[in-house]
Every structure is written in C-alpha cells, then in structure tokens.
C-alpha cells in the first residue's frame, strides 16, 4: 500500500510503498525538482562478524540533470569521490544508531534520480535513508535529520539553494537525532568557534523538526521492528568478561608507547581466551565473538580508570598534545616536502606544482566552482599500522581523509589568477596512532611552504575525543590516539589557522546528544591545541620560502585580446600545437584571454611569449626579437618574427657596406636580432631595425 507524507514547512514530500517494493524499506523523497530514492535491505550474517556489516552506497545518475556521461562507454563508471564522500557522511550519521548486539548485513543504496540545480541532494539522501530505515523492520534507533548550513552576507541559512552555496564562505552538513548532533562535516574560511556553535545549534532546530515528522510517519504506519536473535549466551559472556577485567589487568594497558600497549592488549585477550578455553571449544564459539564482548566490557572499565587517575592511558593530561617533530626539504628532487610526526603518527608529504593541464578533469553532475586548482591525495598503507592486507588502490577512508585535509587548506591557497599553478599534495602515512588526517594537514602546510607556495596563513589540525564515566561525567581529550578513538564516544577533528576554523569533521558513538557546553569545551581545547601545534611548526618555518623551488617549472602569464584567441589556437589547434612543439612549453588560454606559458629548463619560454604576442597583434615599438630571415627583396629583408608573421627590415636600415651583399651576409634561414620600429595594427605591417648587437657586430 502506497502512502505519501509531506512536510510543507521544509518543502519535503515522501512516498512509501510505491517504489522498490522488494526492499525492506524504500523512501522516494522529493524537494523541489530534486528526487532521491533510498533503499534498505538486510540479511542475516552467516558467521559472527565482530562488527556491524553496514554498507552505504550513493549514486548520482547523469540523467538526473539531463546529461549523458562522457567517455567511451557513456555510462556511469566507478564511484566518484563526491559519491563516496556523500555515502560516508550518511554512514557516519546512522552507524551509532544500530543496537550494540545487532550484526545483520545491512545494505543501503541511494539514487539521485532528478536534480533541479537548486536543492542539494546530499542532505536529502541522508534524510531519505533515515526514513527508509525508520519505516523498515531493521531495528534502527533513529530517526535522524540532516541539514546543510551556509553563511550568506554574514547570516547563517539552513538548506541554502545551490547558487547561495556558491556564494557562502562556509559549507557544513549536520546530522543528528532529536537529542543532539551526531555528525558534522564542513569547510569554513577561518570561522570562529563561537560562530560554529551558533551554526550547529541553528541546524539542530531544523533537524528536530525533521525527526518529529518521521516519528509521525512511523506512528501512522505502525512500524514493527525485528527482534534481535543472538547465537551465543551474550549475558553470560558479558559477566565473565566483567569478572576477568580487574583493575590490575586494565591498568596493564597504561603504556605510553603504542607498540607496548598493543602487546599488552593482545596478552589481555589471549589470557581471557585461555581462561575459558574449555567452554569455547565445547560450544564452538568463535574467538572474534569472545574478543568483541571483552572489548565492549573494557571500554567502561578503562574509562572509569582514566577518570579515577586523572590522566590518560598513555600518561598524558586531558589537554596535552603528544610530542611533535617536523622537518622539511628531505626529498631532494621534489618541489616541496615535509615529515611531520606527532607521537607515533608520522606523515610524509610532498608538494608538486604543475600547469593548468594538470588540473583534475573529473566529470561532475554538480559544479562546485572552485577557483583554486588543488588536489590532495592521502595514502594509508598497511605497514603504517603493522598489518598485512592487499593493496587495491585508495579506499573510502583514503578519499575521506584526503578530502578533509584538502578542505582545511583551500582557504589559505593563492587564487589561480595570482598563482597560475596546479598544486598536488601527496601524503603517505608511514606510521599511525590516531589523527593521521590532521597530521596530513600539518605536513601539507610545511610542504607547501617548503615549495615556496605563497599561502596566506599556516594551518594545523588536531583530533578531539570524549569520554563519559559511569556516573555520567564528560571529559574532552585533546589529540586523540587510536586507542582513545576506539574506546571513546567522539572523534572531533578541527583544522584551522591562528584566526579560525577551516575544516571540521565529527562522529560520535553515542545515541544521545551532547550538551552545548561539551561542544564549547571541545572547540576551546581544539583551539588551544591547534595554536600549540602551530607554535611547534613555526620553530621550523614561519612563512613560505621567498621564491619557488628551482625545480618548479616557470609560468609566465600574459593577457591578449579575447578576439585573438582563435588566431592563437588556429584551426583544429594547429597553431598552438606548433608553438608548444617548437618551444617545448605548455600553454593554457582561458576565455578572458589570459595566457599561461609553462615550461621547465629545456623550454624556450621567451620565444613562446613572443610568438603568442605577435599572433595576437600585441607588438610594441622598441621590442626585440630573434627573427629568422625569410625572404630577400630589392628593398630589404623580410624577417619572420615568428613562423608566418614577418616584418620588413628596409634596405636603408642595413649597413651600406652590406647592402650589395645581402644574400651573402644575411642568408635565408639565418637568425637575426631585430628591433620593432613601428607596428600598424590595421594593416599588420611591421617595420624593423637591426638590434644594437647586430650594429656592433658590423662595426667590428
């Protein structure tokens, strides 16, 4: 049976039961002309997985905007970064809202079916997912709401239209339950902590309205949820784990070094398995179930121990940042490089500068209109955490962490009109113990400055965590380790300059919401931590090098009349291809007539500049050219300033003793240094004279 529900105040309408009827849950959600279909399917896991096997996929079909995909096959290919990032946002918002003892396989697939160019599909996809889950038998403990926040002319706006998003200096996606916010991701141009709090809780007011609407839908449909069936006696094993985890055993994990801590954890698990080996073998209980229950019981016990001691597992205070070391220029043939280390997390970063032809050219359904050709790629090889696993290219984690670091740095990069290079940052995580994305931000700042890129301000980042004691007390942690990330309630990454926030990402592992003062404390500690890290970075470099690395190819920019662009390019690109081939340069021309000429040590940039200027008719009296003798006439010599464009060196400008032997002294094809005496743009005639060097040579 199909039903339609509307939320007129926010412009939503959803149809249930009409589409994707074989799915456990499906929501056809529309706002304006933008339509998404979210589907949910579950199946019982054959073996105990030890985690919630949840998969979220989001797909933007080009037909949604009346487009046909490019490329040979003319169909959507592998997931784009935008699709992966949107899927991650949804996953992070809903994952904490499944029961602790629920391990069915859940697959969520969201399709963007229609896009009106106004209403953003990402928050709509998240909301549709919540509706599909909430109206399905899956024991989802939502609903959630999701909104987008922008700031236009100094005022925050919830769910802006696309044109408004492009004008905004902040872009946040916020998800949450009626109790509080549980996921944030976004970018800002050095936003203050106070303004961020205002934006978050303004968004939460609309989220509560979305949640209330969904609760009415669930009530109207009388939705029944599946009971959770466990294959093992969970309660009995939970009690065994609680009895086993004495204070002494929990305290054995209190090690400063990650490797020692990992060894202590392995010993703790092995001891538990050995203590109950007979029961485990008799009932054929898998080890990963035993270890999972043990870890679930360890979390509150480790947390209470931290509260009791007033210090963390690795001995730090709650606000202390791990020891930092930084070096730059360690890769001799790279444009810029750095090694940033914080505790056991180590990031090796390189910065490479290229031409506009190196800009990423991914075909996107929705144009984000960035004026900064920049890409940041993040790699997380298995050796960084001492593991063996197959390498299959960048995964979702790599895409997400790379995007977060890229977002953090964008506001401080120079505009491409002032700095016409394409910039690529590559970070390889060599060792990881938490907060590798923020290490990437710090390392990237140093690599950019080492290359001489004129960034406007230094950027650093820090990950914040949160613990809650058994008595309900909260404690914010600065500079999260991997252990604290796994055992805490929150992972809140904050990056920015000394003046404000440029990027944030927050996930929580807690169904309820956090009070406003927790966010305020976390952001204040993050600000202090960020400034501390900036101070450490400035001990190595305080500002970009005054000049670009000598390894960086040069770029010269000139402006030509836009009407002459066609002449410079030539039919089928013939002219510009010849210039590039003969001068060993790379040339980019935009629609405004701005020409960027890019070349390494082997390139003849001066020749390329002169060639373009001559074709564009930008010849000025007094300019010098290394021309080529093209033709000899009774009245003088025709000299090609560039191929196909000649000027006349009148016989009167040639020394008298050479006027009778022109063919001998100035053979066709020889190089001749000449000076422009006059240029007539109407007729294209160019009058030339000999350069001073040629005259001096004659006198000798």
Query: What tens digit of pLDDT does each residue of 313-324 get?
Result: 999 999 999 999
Distance between CA atoms of 52 and 62, rounded to whole angstroms? 32
Q: Which of 73-82, 169-178, 578-587 has the lowest mean pLDDT?
A: 73-82
Strands 155-158, 170-176: pairing kind: unpaired
Residue 158: predicted pLDDT = 96
| Distances 361 to 64, 68, 69, 85, 373 between C-alpha atoms, Å | 20, 16, 13, 18, 10
What are the tokens at 563?
A: 């009407």
Distance between CA atoms of 335 and 296, rounded to whole angstroms? 47
Angle of helix 396-409 versus helix 81-94 axis, rounded to 10: 100
Give buried/exposed letters for 145-166 (b at 16+ CB in 10 A, else e).
Answer: bbbbbbbeeeebbbbbbbebbe
> Is the pLDDT reported for residue 22 higher than 70?
yes
Confidence bin at 696 (pLDDT 50/70/90):
low
Angle of helix 436-451 versus helix 396-409 axis, rounded to 10: 50
> Is the pLDDT reported for residue 363 higher than 80?
no
Phi, psi at 490, each rounded to 5°: -150, 145
Q: Which of 96-100, 330-334, 438-442, 690-694 has the lowest mean pLDDT?
A: 690-694
Residue 302: predicted pLDDT = 93
Q: Output the 3-class SS for 162-220.
A: HHHHHHCCEEEEEEECCCCEEEEEEEEEEECHHHHHHHHHHHHHHHHHHHHHHHHHHHH
Q: Which of 105-109, 121-125, 300-304 has the lowest mean pLDDT?
A: 300-304
Residue 189: predicted pLDDT = 94
pLDDT digits 0-9 by tens, 170-184: 999 999 999 999 999
For residue 432, with 0-12 CB atoms within 10 Å meaning exposed, 13-18 middle and 19 or more buried, which class applies? buried
Question: Residue 538's CB: how many other CB atoms inside 10 A?
Answer: 14
Q: Over the Cα atoms of the chain, what is R_g?
A: 32
Confidence bin at 693 (pLDDT 50/70/90):
low
CATH class belonging to 554-699: mainly beta
Distance between CA atoms of 200 and 147, rounded to whole angstroms? 10
Report the percent of the chain where pLDDT is more than 70: 98
Distance between CA atoms of 263 and 343, rounded to whole angstroms? 18
In terms of Cα–Cα distance, which of 494, 431, 429, 436 is closest to 465? 494
Distance between CA atoms of 405 and 377, rounded to whole angstroms? 9
For residue 17, with 0-12 CB atoms within 10 Å meaning exposed, 13-18 middle and 19 or more buried, which class applies? middle
DSSP letter (8 states) at residue 55: E
What are the tokens at 33?
A: 């002309």
Domains 3-221 and 554-699 share a fold: no
Q: Are 376 and 425 in contact (CB under 8 A)?
A: yes
Q: Is 343 left (phi over 0), alpha (psi -120 to 50) or beta?
A: left
pLDDT digits 0-9 by tens, 108-151: 999 999 999 999 999 999 999 999 999 999 999 989 999 999 99
Q: Are 523 and 197 in contact (CB under 8 A)?
A: yes
Q: Are 586 and 556 in contact (CB under 8 A)?
A: no
Q: Are 433 and 452 in contact (CB under 8 A)?
A: no
Confidence bin at 700 (pLDDT 50/70/90):
very low
Residue 42: predicted pLDDT = 96
Distance between CA atoms of 368 and 32, rounded to whole angstroms? 20
Distance between CA atoms of 522 and 538, rounded to whole angstroms? 24
Residue-by-residue DSSP string for 616-636:
TT---TT-EEEEEEEEEETTE
Residue of higher predicted confidence among 441 and 228: 441
For residue 46, with 0-12 CB atoms within 10 Å meaning exposed, 13-18 middle and 19 or more buried, which class applies? exposed
In terms of Cα–Cα distance, which of 85, 205, 84, 187 is closest to 147? 205
Report the predicted TM-score, pTM, of the whole model to 2 decimal places: 0.88
What mean pLDDT, rounded, does the chain reach? 91
Confidence bin at 699 (pLDDT 50/70/90):
very low
Phi, psi at 590, each rounded to 5°: -100, 175
* Mean pLDDT (whole number) for 172-197: 94
Q: Which of 58-72, 135-149, 275-289 has the lowest mean pLDDT?
A: 58-72
Confidence bin at 695 (pLDDT 50/70/90):
low
CATH topology of domain 3-221: Ribosomal Protein S5; domain 2 (3.30.230)
Domain ranges within the chain, ordered by starting residue: 3-221, 234-309, 324-388+399-538, 554-699
CATH topology of domain 324-388+399-538: Ribosomal Protein S5; domain 2 (3.30.230)
Residue of higher predicted confidence among 132 and 371: 132
Q: Are 97 and 141 in contact (CB under 8 A)?
A: yes
Confidence bin at 370 (pLDDT 50/70/90):
low
Q: 267 by DSSP, 3-state: which?
A: helix
Residue 241: predicted pLDDT = 95
Distance between CA atoms of 238 and 321, rounded to whole angstroms? 35
Phi, psi at 294, each rounded to 5°: -60, -45
Residue 184: predicted pLDDT = 95
């Amino acid at each position: 049976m199909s039903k339609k529900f509307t939320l007129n105040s926010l412009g939503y309408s959803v149809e249930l039961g009409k589409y994707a009827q074989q799915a456990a849950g499906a929501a056809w959600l529309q706002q304006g002309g933008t339509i998404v279909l979210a589907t949910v399917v579950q199946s019982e896991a054959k073996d105990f997985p030890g985690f919630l096997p949840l998969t979220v996929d989001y797909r933007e079909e080009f037909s949604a905007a009346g487009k046909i995909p490019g490329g040979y096959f003319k169909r959507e290919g592998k997931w784009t970064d935008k699709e992966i990032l949107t899927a991650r946002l949804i996953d992070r918002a809903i994952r904490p809202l499944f029961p602790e003892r629920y391990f069915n396989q859940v697959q969520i697939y969201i399709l963007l079916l229609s896009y009106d160019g106004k209403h953003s599909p990402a928050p709509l996809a998240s909301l549709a997912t919540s509706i599909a889950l909430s109206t399905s038998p899956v024991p989802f403990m939502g609903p959630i709401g999701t909104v987008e926040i922008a700031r236009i002319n100094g005022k925050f706006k919830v769910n802006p239209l696309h044109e408004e998003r492009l004008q905004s200096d902040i872009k946040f996606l916020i998800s949450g339950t009626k109790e509080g916010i549980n996921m944030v991701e976004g970018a800002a141009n050095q936003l203050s902590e106070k303004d961020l709090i205002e934006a978050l809780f303004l968004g939460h007011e609309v989220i509560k309205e979305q949640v209330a609407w969904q609760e009415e839908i669930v009530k109207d449909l009388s939705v029944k949820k599946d009971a959770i069936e466990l294959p093992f006696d969970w309660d009995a094993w939970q009690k065994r784990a609680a009895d086993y985890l004495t204070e002494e055993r929990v305290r054995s994990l209190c090690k400063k070094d990650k490797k020692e801590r990992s060894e202590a954890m392995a010993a703790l698990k092995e001891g538990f398995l050995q203590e109950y080996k007979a029961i485990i073998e008799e009932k054929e209980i898998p080890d990963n179930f035993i270890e999972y229950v043990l870890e679930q019981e360890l979390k509150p016990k480790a947390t209470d121990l931290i509260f009791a001691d007033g210090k963390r597992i690795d001995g730090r205070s709650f606000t202390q940042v791990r020891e930092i070391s930084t070096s730059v220029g360690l890769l001799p043939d790279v444009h810029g490089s750095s090694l940033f280390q914080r505790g056991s997390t180590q990031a090796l970063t390189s910065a490479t500068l290229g031409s506009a032809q190196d800009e990423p050219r991914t075909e996107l359904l929705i144009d984000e209109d960035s004026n900064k050709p920049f890409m940041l790629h993040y790699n997380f090889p298995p050796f960084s955490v001492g593991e063996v696993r197959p390498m299959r290219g960048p995964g979702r984690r790599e895409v997400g962490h790379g995007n977060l670091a890229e977002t953090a740095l964008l506001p401080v990069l120079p505009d491409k009109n002032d700095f016409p290079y394409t910039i690529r940052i590559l970070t390889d995580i060599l060792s990881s113990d938490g907060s590798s994305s923020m290490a990437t931000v710090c390392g990237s700042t140093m690599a950019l400055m080492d290359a001489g890129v004129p960034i406007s301000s230094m950027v650093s980042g820090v990950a914040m965590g949160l613990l809650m004691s058994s008595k309900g007390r909260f404690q914010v942690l600065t500079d999260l380790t991997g252990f604290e990330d796994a055992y805490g309630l929150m992972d809140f990454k904050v990056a920015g300059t000394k003046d404000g926030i440029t990027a944030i990402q927050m996930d929580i592992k807690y169904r309820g919401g956090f009070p406003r003062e927790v966010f305020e404390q976390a952001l204040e500690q993050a600000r202090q931590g960020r400034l501390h890290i900036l101070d450490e970075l400035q001990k190595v470099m305080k500002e970009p090098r005054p000049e670009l690395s000598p390894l960086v190819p040069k770029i010269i920019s000139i402006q030509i009349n836009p009407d002459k662009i066609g002449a410079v390019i030539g039919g089928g690109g013939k002219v510009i291809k010849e210039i590039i081939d003969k001068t060993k340069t790379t040339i980019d021309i935009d629609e405004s007539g701005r020409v960027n000429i890019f070349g390494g040590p082997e390139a003849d940039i001066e020749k390329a500049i002169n060639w373009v200027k001559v074709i564009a008719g930008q010849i000025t009296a007094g300019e010098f050219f290394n021309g080529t003798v093209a033709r000899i006439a009774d009245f003088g010599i025709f000299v090609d300033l560039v191929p196909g464009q000649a000027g006349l060196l009148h016989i009167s400008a040639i020394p008298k003793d050479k006027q009778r032997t022109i063919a001998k002294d100035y053979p066709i094809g020889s190089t001749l240094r000449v000076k422009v005496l006059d240029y007539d743009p109407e007729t294209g005639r160019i009058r030339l004279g000999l350069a001073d060097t040629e005259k001096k040579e004659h006198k000798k």
